[in-house]
Structure 1
């Protein structure tokens, strides 16, 4: 049974905030290659610490960052 998947809205939030991927990676000390995978939603597991960093950076709740897509 397929229960759907999670999508991160990083690209949308970056555009809304008007910041580049390079900027956020430097400010949050996130390797760019890892960050790109999250931006493309190519992940198997979510890093709770990263989610906390992103929520703090974007000043948003987890629900604004992560979307559940039912298939």
Structure 2
């Protein structure tokens, strides 16, 4: 069995864009959260290798969600 940590960044971003009836670019997320574009790009492509608390906090505030809504622990067989 393989275990991995992944995220729901793209899903949460799409849900926010739908709620607000507009497109949201990573640059905009960066401006509003203070997170670097390269970091957001890693999140958007599910290539995060290090989950930093300040980034998680900023994203949870931006998406108005809990950590468990953003990060998931998967068990693969």
* Residue aligning to 1:68: 73
Q: Which runs of 5+ in 2 are unaligned?
A: 18-23
SS at match of 1:56: helix
SS at match of 2:72: strand
Q: Which runs of 5+ in 1 are unaligned?
A: none
* Residue aligning to 2:16: 17
SS at match of 2:6: strand
Q: How far 1:43 sits from its partner (Å)?
A: 2.1
TM-score of the superposed pair, with normalisation by structure 2: 0.81
TM-score of the superposed pair, with normalisation by structure 1: 0.87
Q: How far 1:5 sits from its partner (Å)?
A: 0.9
Q: How far 1:8 sits from its partner (Å)?
A: 1.1
**Deviation readout 1:4-43 (Å, 9 max, x if unpaired):** 1111111111110013212111111111112101221212
Count of paired positions:
70
The yes-or-no answer on 1:48 pairing with 2:47 is no
